[in-house]
Chains A and B, each alone.
Chain A
Amino acid sequence: MSTLAATIAANRFGLGARPGELGEIGGAGYDWLLSQIKPQAALPALENSGARFKRLLGGVENMAGIAAALKPARDLYIKDMTLRTQQAVTTAAPFAERLVHFWSNHFAVSVDRPVVSPFVAAYENEAIRPNIFGKFSDMVLASARHVAMLMYLDNVRSVGPGSRAVQRSSAMGNQRPQQPKGLNENYAREVMELHTLGVDGGYTQADVLSLAKILTGWSLNRRVGGFEFKQGAHEPGVQTVMGTRFANNGEQQGVAALRYLAIHAATAKHVATKLARHFIADEPPASAVDALAGAFTRSGGDLAVVTRTLIDLQEAWQPQQLKYKSPQEHVISSLRAIGSRTVEASTLNSFEVLGQRSFGAPSPQGWPDTQASWLSGDGLMRRVEWSQAFAKRLPSTLDARRIAADVLGSWLGGDTAFMLQGAPSNTEALALLFLAPEFQRR
């Protein structure tokens, strides 16, 4: 008989219990989570972004060339996502894995921009995964320097108006005073609004402009397929962001600015709120947010400390299931529940049909994290259809009642157990399990 703590640990903090997982955890739910808070290595099976960049785009010079070079992108995407999803379905450290997904969504890149598609899995693997229990500022810097982010939010093209590159080219056309030619604000704005301070973090448009100038030159070396600071594109001069001056010392100006933003009090609150929303409730309790923000600030943004604080929170262990599973969470937990070891192409298609294509968020905000965003009439109909279609492909040896007890533990309610018991066929019983309120929430 498993404990409530094990149920919560595996299903709320983890990615959904696999068969026998609750039994393995036993009475040590907290310890099981704690044991997963340790340095994470990149998955070796995913191709390195630099190697892939050189291979695909190394020789490309212009727009038409890119289209041809990206022809293999679809197959690569399928290959990458299969590996990534398989990792999520089979891992024995699902709490750590959930945090990988959480942070990669926080620093979202999207295949909405086709040129980014071959690099999204590597981005998660190289910039996010190794940093989930390290310093938040290291994750910000790794994200800022990664080929996927540089291309997704256009910083690769951002050139300082006073830089040598612009001085050298002959003046053409009118200069817009509000946004000087060549400067791209996209990344600067999103790193403040989405990654660090948050939309209410107190920055102004002038700050966005200054940060954009600071980050000019943060670009790509196309021959190597990785980050290179291009002094020639960098805007000279001291810049002021949020009242703080950043000396003009090339790449270090950007490092200093990003580190400053990464440990800002507004960032602590923003990050704390998102974590609390993800693990506790759509409207996270202020006590939880304060505790997490405090841990963030005291530790200088040490995510191992913050994560340990999270699992120490009483609010995070409340018995009620307050969070509604997103489509990816629902599918992954269903695959885990039946003990799946492989991921088929149909699973990846499912993500798309269910409205949450892997790395397919429509904006840099990433996927939302509330019931209001995911629960809709149409969305639930898709989930019903998917559950029935998925159940139809499962072996008849799977006993829905036994699985329900095994993976839901004390969350399994009498009404659901009753319906599984009375289902007209095993297939329908399995489909009903995946649709049970206690399975759709965590």
Chain B
Amino acid sequence: MTNHLDRRMFLAALAAATLPARVSFAAMPTDKRFVFVILRGAMDGLTAVPPYADRAYKAARPTLAVAEGDMTQLDGQFGLHKELNSLAKLYAKKELLVLHAVATSYRDRSHFDAQNLLEGGGSAAHEQKDGWLNRALGLLGGRRQPLGLAVGGTTPLVLTGAAPIASYAPTALPDADAGFLELAQRLMANDPALSQALVSGMGSADMADAAGGNMAMPGNPRRNSSGLAQVAGKMLSAADGPRLAVLDVGGWDTHVGQANRLPQALRQLDATLAALHQSMSAVWNDTMVVVVSEFGRTVAMNGNNGTDHGTATAAFVMGGKVDGGRVLANWPGLASSQLYQGRDLAPTMDLRSLLKGALQAQYGLSAGEIDRLVFPGSGEALALRDLVRA
């Protein structure tokens, strides 16, 4: 039985051994960064990327169609809503790829089920209990610090699974004093699960502090997506930081008063993506950002000056090496006979094709691995090629 003094020194020494290294240059499995941005609530692709050259567009949306002065024309067929200003600049630099008439294989209209399918990556909602991005992380191999990063609170399904991930969330709680943290470490020293978690948590907190995330986020942290994007971008840029992150941007469920509400949501999205780009500028050539929504909205307006849940919508891919400056869309048309179930933009591309193509392009994962392990049952969705320039 050690005496009083020895025990104190022993605990202190143990704590010192488990303190996180502030700087570590351990080899990373990859330098490629990937950010998956989920627009929860069903973004109206027909407003974000108006198909202005389709003659049926204005006829189908007499009140809601985006006016010519409110968009940047992209390629003679499609435009970009004027609120997506920094995206327009990226498009001009050929670093933004726009996709349209995209949807998952989900054909119902529940946000909850559709997001579950989007994130689970199965062939039906609730089929997969973990997320496709977590399964992809499993294929990338690991190191001591996790490669995946969840920001903003709960871990989304897409990042849930066997592969460990780091998490960061701005908090309304004041930081614990450094001295107290040391005591807490000693207290938990003999509990392996607790002390490992504490080390990991302190490591993420250090990384976030270094990335400027130690300031309290104004307003509701969940709504301050640009602030979160900034912190996430900096963490991803770190030499020994995570490599794949997920961000949420909301405000899309425009059942009521779409003409007022949707531009606000687009503005916030643009600011978020601009913050992400800016914070990752040093590694932008190694970065790919994919922006999707679980489904789109009805073509026709409803009785509340809004739109209801639809099917196909737009998506975006951006990054320094992305083969951008074009719109990828097999456009089905907006005449009523061309609509899905007579009400929605019909889907002509499976979102999984985009996601599979992204994983192949960024991480060199083989088609076989992806179809077997990441997106099981997705054989009919061929991976998109040529997402990045050589």
Contacts and interface: CB of A to CB of B under 8 A. Distances in A.
Given A385-B176, A437-B190, A437-B194, A64 B200 contact: no
Contacts of B203: 377
Contacts of B342: 173-174
Contacts, number: 117
B223 to A, nearest CB: 14
Contacts of A382: 169, 171, 173
B374 interface: no
B154 A355 contact: yes
Interface string B104-136: 000110101100100000000010000000000
Contact of B193 (A174, A375, A428): A375
B331 to A, nearest CB: 21
Given A377-B166, A377-B197, A432 B110 contact: no
A35 interface: no
A419 B201 contact: no
A388 interface: yes
Interface string B183-199: 11011101101100111
Interface in B177-222: 177, 179-181, 183-184, 186-188, 190-191, 193-194, 197-205
A320 to B, nearest CB: 12
Contacts of B187: 415-416, 419, 432, 435-437
Question: Which bracket fits the contact residues of A?
Answer: 35 or more
A436 to B, nearest CB: 6
Given A376-B201, A381-B202, A384-B198, A415 B190 contact: yes
Contacts of A380: 194, 197-198, 201
Contacts of B193: 324, 371, 375
Contact of A431 (B175, B180, B255): B180
A363 B11 CA distance: 42
Contacts of A32: none
A189 B126 CA distance: 10
B256 A355 contact: no
Please classify the interface of chain A as helix (H, G, I), strand (E, B), loop, or mixed, using the class held by over half of its residues. Answer: helix
Contact of A353 (B171, B191, B204): B171
A349 B194 contact: no
B343 interface: yes
Contacts of A371: 193
A41 interface: no
B167 A376 contact: yes
B194 A386 contact: no
B133 to A, nearest CB: 17
Interface string A406-439: 0000000001101100111000100110011100
Given A64-B304, A436-B187, A379 B197 contact: yes
A63 interface: yes
Contacts of A349: 172
Interface in B300-353: 303-304, 341-343
A389 interface: yes
Interface residues of B, number: 52
A9 to B, nearest CB: 23
A20 interface: no
A381 B112 contact: no
Contacts of A386: 173
A385 B180 CA distance: 10
A376 B191 contact: no
B93 interface: no
B175 A385 contact: yes
B202 A419 contact: no
A174 B107 CA distance: 13
Contact of A173 (B110, B116, B200, B341): B341
B153 interface: yes
A437 B341 contact: no
B368 interface: no
A179 B113 CA distance: 14
Contact of B173 (A375, A389, A424, A436): A389
B244 to A, nearest CB: 17
Contacts of A86: none
B143 interface: no
B252 interface: no
A157 B169 CA distance: 37
Interface in B5-47: 7-8, 11
Max chain B Cβ within 10 angstroms of own Cβ: one of A363, A380, A424: A380
B164 to A, nearest CB: 9
A64 B305 CA distance: 11
A374 B181 CA distance: 20
A440 interface: yes
Contact of B191 (A176, A378, A422, A437): A437
Contact of A378 (B167, B172, B303, B304): B167
Given A173-B342, A422-B8, A428 B180 contact: yes
Contacts of A431: 180
A376 B205 CA distance: 12
Nearest to B306: A63
Given A349-B172, A353-B173, A436-B187, A377 B110 contact: no
Contacts of B204: 377-378, 381
Contact of B107 (A63, A176, A381): A176
A432 to B, nearest CB: 5
B174 interface: yes
A189 B124 CA distance: 13
Nearest to A174: B341
29 contacts: A63-B304, A64-B304, A174-B342, A176-B341, A179-B108, A186-B110, A189-B126, A324-B193, A353-B171, A353-B172, A362-B154, A363-B116, A371-B193, A375-B197, A376-B167, A376-B200, A377-B199, A377-B200, A378-B168, A379-B201, A380-B194, A380-B198, A381-B205, A384-B180, A385-B173, A385-B175, A389-B173, A419-B183, A435-B187
Top-5 shortest CB links A-B: A377-B201, A377-B200, A381-B201, A378-B167, A385-B173
Given A384-B184, A437-B187, 5 more contacts: A62-B304, A363-B116, A389-B174, A435-B184, A437-B191
